């Protein structure tokens, strides 16, 4: 990848996190993400503000994933966040496609890297094995928030 592309991407990330969240949703396949979400339903639900369940069942082990694209990690008062996620929240780290993909592929490693705390841990033990599935999951979750 050329230096100009990397610099342009970095500037875009710094200047418009919310716009980037929407743009990143387009890079994945939301339909494939819906299929990949089947591995998440045991713990997660996507429930909008009106209480309508858009995806999943009543999984409450993990947080509600509605509207996470562009939000800070560890938001939502209705969930008990791990200290690692609380540290990311306090640092203002946002959920972008890149951070989401890194997190779901190795939650503890991502939290440690992003927080700079090698003892930090997350509560999610599941890992999405495929980067493509992770990108598609992000696209799917972003598409649900747009509905």
pLDDT tens digits for range 77-135:
778 899 999 999 998 999 999 999 999 999 999 999 998 888 888 888 899 999 999 99
> Looking at residue 147, what is its pLDDT?
60
So what CATH class is 21-146?
A: mainly alpha
For the chain, what are the domain ranges? Answer: 21-146
Please state the pTM of the whole predicted model.
0.78
> Looking at residue 101, what is its pLDDT?
96
Q: Which residues share a beta bridge with 94?
A: 72
Length of the chain: 147
CB-based burial of residue 23 (10 Å sphere; 0-12 exposed, 13-18 middle, 19+ buried)? middle
Q: Which residues of 37-72 are buried (b: 16+ CB within 10 A; e: fewer)?
A: beebeebbbbbeeeeeeebbeebeebbbbbbbbbbb
């Amino acid at each position: 990848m050329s230096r100009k592309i990397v610099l342009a991407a970095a500037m875009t990330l710094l200047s418009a996190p919310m716009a980037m969240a929407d743009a990143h949703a387009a890079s994945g396949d939301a339909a494939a993400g819906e299929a990949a979400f089947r591995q998440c339903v045991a713990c997660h639900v996507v429930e909008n503000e009106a209480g309508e369940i858009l995806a999943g069942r009543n999984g409450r082990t993990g947080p509600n994933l509605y509207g996470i694209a562009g939000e800070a990690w560890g938001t939502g008062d209705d969930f008990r966040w791990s200290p690692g996620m609380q540290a990311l929240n306090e640092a203002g780290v946002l959920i972008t496609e890149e951070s989401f993909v890194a997190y779901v592929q190795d939650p503890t490693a991502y939290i440690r890297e992003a927080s700079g705390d090698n003892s930090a841990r997350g509560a999610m033990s599941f890992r999405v094995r495929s980067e493509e599935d992770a990108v598609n999951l992000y696209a799917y979750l972003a598409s649900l928030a747009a509905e």
